[in-house]
Amino acid sequence: MKKISSNKVFGGEHAQYTHWSEANNCEMTFAVFLPPQMDDLSELKKVPSLYWLSGLTCTDQNFMQKAGAFKRAAELGIAIIAPDTSPRGENVPDDENQAYDLGLGAGFYLNASEAPWREHYNMYDYIVKDLISDVDEHLNLSTSRAISGHSMGGHGALTIGLKHPELFGSISAFSPICNPTNSPWGKKAFSAYLGEQQDTWLQYDACHLLEHATEPQAILIEQGSADDFLDEQLRPESLMQVAQKSGHSVQLHLREGYDHSYFFISSFIEQHLEFHAKYL
C-alpha cells in the first residue's frame, strides 16, 4: 500500500492509497477515513470500520467529498473504507461506446467470466479478498465491519454482505439495485460480464440471496420516493416481498420527495452510521 494523499478532518484523517490487486490484475485506488480515536494511545480497542461501495460513474472520492459522513463517524469512532467502483488503467477494457453503465466506473461488484472483462473485472474478489486483507494488514482496525453503498454500490453491499455474514455484521444501502436480474442496468451488465446463462446471474441478485440466506442479518434500506430510477431499475418492493416470505427482517425507509443524488445520501447518512454502530 502506498499513501498518495492525506487531509485532516474532524480530528481524524482522510487518506487515499494505491495498492496492487491480484483479483483485478491492476493497481487500485481506495480512500479511508480514520477517526481521531486512532491517535489515542490510551484506547486499547481497535476501531471498527464501514465499507462503502459507490455507484455507477463514481470513484473512491464521491462519498468522501459529498456524503458529509466524517463528523458523525468521528464521534462514533468508526473508520470508513471507500474503494473505487471498477478497475482502471491502460490495459483495462472499457465499453466500446463508452457507456456509463458498463466498463470503467461500472464494475457491479461481481467476478466477470466473459472476455474481455474477466482478466480485470473481478470487483467481488477485490473487495472480499484483496482490499480487506490489505486494510487489515496495514491499518489498525478491528475485524468488526459493516457494509453499505449507493445504487450499484447498494447492490454490491447487499450481495456481498448477504454472502459474507462472517465479514460484515450489518448491511445498509441507499437506493440499491435490489433485483438486478430483472432491471435494465443489471441485465446489461450481467449479460456482458457473466454471459447469457442467467442461472449464473442469481449469485449476484440480492433477492435470490436473501431468499436462501440462513443467518439473520441487520439490513437497512433508504429509498427516495422521487428517485427517477425507482420503478424500473431499483425494485425495492421485490426485496421486501422476499423478506416477508422468508422471514428475514429488512427495514425500508421510503423518504418522501428525495431523489437518487448525494443530497439524499447526506440527509440520512448519520442515521446509517448510528444503525451500524449498534452492531459494530
- The reply to whether 260 belongs to the active site is yes
- Nearest 5 degrees, angle CA 177-CA 183-CA 186? 70
Residue 203: strand, helix, or coil = helix
- Catalytic position from the list 49, 54, 151, 183: 151
Low-confidence residues in the chain, pLDDT < 50: 41-42
**Active-site residue flag, 60:** no
Q: What does the pLDDT read at residue 277?
A: 98
| Fold classification of 2-277 (topology level) | Rossmann fold (3.40.50)
* Tens digit of each residue's pLDDT (9 = 90 or more) over 79-117: 999 999 999 999 999 999 999 999 999 999 999 999 999
Give yes or no for a contact between 219 and 249, defined as CB atoms under 8 angstroms apart: yes
C-alpha cell of 277?
454502530
Residue 65 neighbours by CB under 8 Å, 6+ apart:
none
Residue pair 227/234 in contact (Cβ under 8 Å)? The answer is: yes
Out of 14, 260, 272, 276, which one is annotated catalytic?
260
Q: What is the Cα–Cα distance from 38 to 41, expressed in whole angstroms?
A: 8
pLDDT at 223: 98
Cβ neighbours around 6 below 10 Å, total: 12
Q: What pLDDT score does 272 carry?
A: 98
Query: In 23-169, at which residue ranges do the beta strands (DSSP E only) sit?
Result: 26-34, 47-53, 79-83, 141-149
* β-bridge pairing 12-21 and 26-34: antiparallel
> From the candidates 155, 175, 227, 272, which is the catalytic residue?
227
For residue 140, the model assigns a pLDDT of 83
d(CA 133, CA 145) in angstroms, rounded, equals 13
24 CB-side CA count, 13 A: 30
